[in-house]
Structure 1
Amino acid sequence: MALLLLRDIPVLCFCILAHFIYRYRRKPILPYPPGLPRWPIIGNALSIPLTYMHIFYKNLGDRLGTKIIYVEALGRPIVVLNDIRIAKDLLEKRSGLYSSRPELPMLTEVIGAKEFFGTMPYGDEWRNHRRIFQQYFSSKKQYHVEESAVEFVRKGLLPNIYQAPQDAHEHVRSCIGGLSTSLTYGLPTRRCKDPLVFFAEDVFTKLTSAAAPGKYLVNVISPLKYVPDWMPGAEFKRVARKLRDEKDRLIEEPYQMAQKNMDESTLSDCFVLGSLERNRDKADFERQAQHIKQAASQIYGAASETIVAATMTFILAMLTCPDVQRRAQQELDSVVGSNRLPEFSDMPNLPYLSAIIKEVLRWNPIAPMGLPHFTTEEDVYEGYYIPKGSVILANAYAMLHDEEVFPNSTEFKPERFIKNGVISDNVLDPENVVTFGFGRRVCPGSRVALSVLYIAAASILTVFDISPALDEKGDPIKVEPEFIAASVVSEPLPFQCKFTPRQGKNIESLLEEYLAAEFI
């Protein structure tokens, strides 16, 4: 009995200490933003769902009649922004206070993935990574990006769908992953089932899930990161150890392959080559080279995950909205004709397709809760107190499904962006606002993502009809749009559909010079 009491004394002391810290911590003079009633110590930890958080917070804001929400989880303050104006006021106009990132326990602490500048705290290292990215992917490189995107869509995506339409999802991933490999490392990839693309996709899917609150409990109860590997329930530690090794391999191997090709003067234009050449004469070249290697892995992962999710959302929307698909195809036929494939020069003459892309980004935001921001000092906004160390969540889903801005927000309606046959200036554009973040942490690769999405969508609709798959009785299989529940990136759950060459399109002629390509 005495031994049991001695063992329990530390736990009892911790509980007493936690109680007094909670009870006597400094209370703000001003109120917190509206939120749910909080329990001592745990706050709202038991009320916050681990899946579809963006929908929960939108509905909570509607129920409370507020666009800014305050909750706590085990002492950690969380402020949710459901409104574009508020997000701009805080994350852009006061970006000096709101540009850092909080700890993402499973990703950054347990796995140790601290190399990715998208999740780095605000500071000099983050600035240098972002500077390296922006120097290469400037407006001068946009033509190279577009040229590469056209090549991969024509040599990879379209022939693969034509020859094996049942594997369309895999073909989208192969195309985007191959394009990312080419732009980042200058490496050729197999048109189908490239081993590096396959491995990278698997690793980044796991890393993206690790950053989401719903996949691992340690993301909600941060102290769990200290439990030893052998303890019951510590399976996440063993998962992290394996994923850490895979992450390190993914950062190192393609970079070394690019270095070897560069030494042999066989490396094509890419981020690694351009960035190393730009920084080669600097006194701190070794440091810059390390940052280039780290930034390269971030570029590859972010591009693959987000563009694949957006492209699959586009395909899902065309499947479930056949009238929209037919109208887009009519527009493409009038501009592109029947004897060629679309070019980027066609885009200004395709307003309805442009409206579809905007609606894809609005209907299912790529990152519905974004990556969290973090307050480095306390703040006051419209009479509400926001503590230092708050996690700030910009709820893109709530902003883009605001009925006051987008009536009938759950419906896929590209027409909302069209007025008198052209894109309307009076409707909020998801391409320029919300989708790619806010303030200093806005995604620097948005132009790349949009370019790939545009040419992929235009090319698919030019060549194929997207229709329901048939069941064993020959009846169409109805698809209800559903999306991944616990991930930073919102991708449609697997769904069945059928790709059929369009009537009147000589697909063999259109793809003749691409069908034999094995490598791109």
Structure 2
Amino acid sequence: MSVLSLRDILFVCICTLIHYTYRHRRRPILPYPPGLPRWPIVGNAFSFPLTYMHVFFKKLGDRLGTKIVYMEALGRQFIVLNDVRMAKDLLEKRSELYSSRPAFPMLLEVCVGFPHLVKSLFGTMPYGDEWRSHRRIFQQYFSPKNHYRVEERAMEFVRKGLLPSLFKTPQDVHGHVRSCMGGFSTSLTYGLPIHCHGDPLVLFAEDVFTKLALAGAPGKYLVNLIPQLKHIPDWMPGTDFKRAAHEAHDQAARLLEEPFQEMQNKMDEGTLSDCFVLESLDRNQSRPDFELQTQHIKQTAMQIYGVLAAASETTVAATMTFILAMLICPDVQRRAQQELDSVVGTDRLPDFSDKPNLPYLSAIIKEVLRWNPATPMGVPHLTTDEDVYEGYYIPKGCIIFANSYAMLHDETIFPSPTEFKPERFIKNGIISDDVPDPESVATFGFGRRVCPGSDVALSLIYITAASILAAFDILPALDEKGDPIKVVPEFISASLISEPLPFKCKFTPRQGKDVEGLLKEYLNFVVI
């Protein structure tokens, strides 16, 4: 049989399966929410954007005059919520129906072995007892009473790692930010010493979690919208996504084992810092099933690492957005520095005790999260039963997107939403309650699936922003003629995380401050 006829048979089988599913699906009495006209069988499969999905659905909702949009793709049903009230009504008030996660075909089905590994990332788990158990483990270690150690470790990495790196080699801003945030996650989880520049484990973990984030992004791989594509044989054209899945699987398997093994080696050497794994091993040392518990701790460490890595990715995106905003809004930067100098002075670096006295800096951070939401489409939810909302039918098994970009760029709530204006959060010199707070609304999700690492991310964002502004001026880079290079904000288009595209800028120690003196005790660290 020829290759051509094999392809023909495969195509006919897939079309027959889709047609059967489409014809025998239950027809609702009530209408679906508004959406684009749908073609038979394929629905809106050819209308789904693979880039800037959050922008597409905001504009589509505006054009249709609705905050809730319905789409289909080859029998798979999607609803996009562009409104905070609707998201709270469904994802919080009816959370028992809306707290599960859809299966990401690229992440869970394309590559053999992925389900076992991704199971460690409880952010992707279906809602249920196993998810509750894993989340409880995270919350026990990172409870409010223990948040002090997060703040201490965050300040340590910013002062020993990020600031000295920016002082010595300011041209590699993005690399320094990623190294700091990734090292912070690795240290909290495994307690391993981290090289200030280019730590191999940090770079490897960053690459793995970036690939996993892309595999779970709604627009990066078409198979996440059309699951039937997973059945295409590997030898057919257009199956690069399968090779990417195999590579990501192999790397994730290494990440499960290698940091834990290195941590055990450091324990024997006595060079391990306090961390989740060390505390867990000590707590279970006397149990008769210690070997079994060790395996569970290793798996749980991957869960913790995954959550912290997600928080770090969010923090990297927010930090680079902050730097971009300070670059293009020099007046905002100067006002924030004046506030910092009035509170902190010039003879020390800011710490967490200063935060209540820095309302304008707080407003800047809120505006950073609003202006470019780190996860603009959120992590999708899944309905576990059918529902009715405002006269619309919502089917069981429907994928729900909370479009945080649309919510935080709603012109009726945030006038001139594309402009960076921290003042929108200030009233009479303090943070206003009149405007929704991006730190608690939309940025980190809704309901029972709100990001458990949000407090970690917010602490790291604050101390990073405060420390950078206290020590450096963020200025335009110069071209060959010595003229400032104008930067136009642009953001990554096809990832779960929205981060600014690479841009040029210049970090210089602030005039009138002895920045070298402030950093003197940190400049010679090689390992944190």
TM-score normalised by the shorter chain: which range applies?
A: over 0.9
Cα separation, 2, equivalents of 1:204 and 1:45: 28
Q: CA shift at 1:22, angstroms?
A: 2.4
Cα separation, 2, equivalents of 1:487 and 1:437: 17
Q: Give the structure 2 partner of residue 159 of structure 1.
A: 164
C-alpha RMSD over aligned residues = 2.1
**Unaligned stretches of 5+ residues in structure 1:** none
SS of equivalent to 2:520:
coil
Aligned residue among 408, 422, 435 for 1:427 = 435
Q: Give the structure 2 partner of residue 215 of structure 1.
A: 220
Q: Give the structure 2 partner of residue 58 of structure 1.
A: 58
Cα separation, 1, equivalents of 2:456 and 2:13: 54
Q: Which moved more, 1:274-283 or 1:326-335?
A: 274-283
Partner amino acid, structure 1, of 2:134:
H
Partner amino acid, structure 2, of 1:156:
G
SS of equivalent to 1:498:
strand
Instruction: Return closer, same or farther for 1:14/1:349 CA change in 2, 3 Å cut-off.
Output: closer
Q: Give the structure 1 partner of residue 470 of structure 2.
A: 462
Q: Give the structure 1 partner of residue 410 of structure 2.
A: 402
Q: Give the structure 2 partner of residue 26 of structure 1.
A: 26
Aligned residue among 409, 414, 432 for 2:422 = 414
Alpha-carbon contact 2:81-2:403 (below 8 Å) kept: yes
Q: Does 1:346 align with 2:354?
A: yes
Q: CA shift at 1:78, angstroms?
A: 0.1
Cα separation, 1, equivalents of 2:269 and 2:522: 28
Alpha-carbon contact 1:275-1:292 (below 8 Å) kept: no
Alpha-carbon contact 2:311-2:454 (below 8 Å) kept: no
Instruction: Return closer, same or farther for 1:518/1:223 CA change in 2, 3 Å cut-off.
Output: same
SS of equivalent to 1:118:
helix
Cα separation, 1, equivalents of 2:312 and 2:440: 20
Instruction: Return closer, same or farther for 1:203/1:468 CA change in 2, 3 Å cut-off.
Output: same
SS of equivalent to 2:40:
coil
Alpha-carbon contact 1:307-1:449 (below 8 Å) kept: yes
Q: Give the structure 2 partner of residue 238 of structure 1.
A: 243
Partner amino acid, structure 2, of 1:135:
Q
Partner amino acid, structure 1, of 2:136:
R
Aligned residue among 189, 192, 216 for 2:194 = 189
Instruction: Return closer, same or farther for 1:355/1:426 CA change in 2, 3 Å cut-off.
Output: same
Q: Give the structure 1 partner of residue 78 of structure 2.
A: 78
Q: Give the structure 1 partner of residue 95 of structure 2.
A: 95
SS of equivalent to 2:122:
coil
Q: CA shift at 1:261, angstroms?
A: 3.3
Q: Give the structure 2 partner of residue 480 of structure 1.
A: 488
Aligned residue among 185, 188, 192 for 1:180 = 185
Q: Give the structure 2 partner of residue 328 of structure 1.
A: 336
Instruction: Return closer, same or farther for 1:5/1:256 CA change in 2, 3 Å cut-off.
Output: closer
Aligned residue among 381, 390, 397 for 1:382 = 390
Alpha-carbon contact 2:256-2:298 (below 8 Å) kept: no
Q: Per-residue displacement from partner, 1:381-436 (whole Å, max 9, x unpaired)?
A: 11100000000000000000011111111110000000000001111101111111
TM-score when normalising by structure 2: 0.94
Instruction: Return closer, same or farther for 1:5/1:341 CA change in 2, 3 Å cut-off.
Output: closer
Instruction: Return closer, same or farther for 1:424/1:24 CA change in 2, 3 Å cut-off.
Output: same
Instruction: Return closer, same or farther for 1:278/1:126 CA change in 2, 3 Å cut-off.
Output: farther
Alpha-carbon contact 2:18-2:74 (below 8 Å) kept: no
Cα separation, 2, equivalents of 1:169 and 1:14: 44
SS of equivalent to 1:485:
coil
Cα separation, 1, equivalents of 2:3 and 2:402: 50
Q: Does 1:206 align with 2:174?
A: no
Q: Does 1:294 align with 2:302?
A: yes
Alpha-carbon contact 2:475-2:506 (below 8 Å) kept: yes
SS of equivalent to 1:503:
coil
Alpha-carbon contact 1:68-1:81 (below 8 Å) kept: yes
Q: Per-residue displacement from partner, 1:476-507 (whole Å, max 9, x unpaired)?
A: 10001110000001110000000111110111
Q: Give the structure 2 partner of residue 318 of structure 1.
A: 326
Alpha-carbon contact 1:185-1:258 (below 8 Å) kept: yes
Cα separation, 2, equivalents of 1:472 and 1:250: 43
Alpha-carbon contact 2:14-2:228 (below 8 Å) kept: no
Aligned residue among 342, 356, 364 for 1:356 = 364
Q: Give the structure 2 partner of residue 372 of structure 1.
A: 380
Q: Give the structure 1 partner of residue 140 of structure 2.
A: 135
Q: CA shift at 1:154, angstroms?
A: 0.8
Alpha-carbon contact 1:250-1:297 (below 8 Å) kept: no
Partner amino acid, structure 2, of 1:30:
L
Q: Which moved more, 1:116-125 or 1:445-454?
A: 116-125
Q: Give the structure 1 partner of residue 45 of structure 2.
A: 45
Q: CA shift at 1:336, angstroms?
A: 0.8
User: How much identity, in percent, do the aligned residues show?
Assistant: 71
Alpha-carbon contact 1:33-1:70 (below 8 Å) kept: yes
Q: CA shift at 1:239, angstroms?
A: 2.0
Q: Does 1:447 align with 2:452?
A: no
Alpha-carbon contact 2:80-2:402 (below 8 Å) kept: yes
Cα separation, 2, equivalents of 1:3 and 1:333: 72
Q: CA shift at 1:275, angstroms?
A: 3.3
Instruction: Return closer, same or farther for 1:22/1:188 CA change in 2, 3 Å cut-off.
Output: same
Partner amino acid, structure 2, of 1:109:
E
Q: CA shift at 1:289, angstroms?
A: 2.2
Cα separation, 2, equivalents of 1:14 and 1:367: 33
SS of equivalent to 2:525:
coil
Q: Give the structure 1 partner of residue 68 of structure 2.
A: 68
Aligned residues: 520
Instruction: Return closer, same or farther for 1:23/1:164 CA change in 2, 3 Å cut-off.
Output: same
Q: CA shift at 1:171, angstroms?
A: 0.5
Cα separation, 1, equivalents of 2:433 and 2:288: 45
TM-score when normalising by structure 1: 0.96
Q: CA shift at 1:242, angstroms?
A: 1.7
Q: Per-residue displacement from partner, 1:185-234 (whole Å, max 9, x unpaired)?
A: 10110111111111111222222112113322222221222233223322
Aligned residue among 301, 305, 316 for 1:308 = 316
Cα separation, 1, equivalents of 2:388 and 2:486: 49
Q: CA shift at 1:116, angstroms?
A: 0.9
Alpha-carbon contact 2:383-2:399 (below 8 Å) kept: yes
Cα separation, 1, equivalents of 2:305 and 2:453: 13
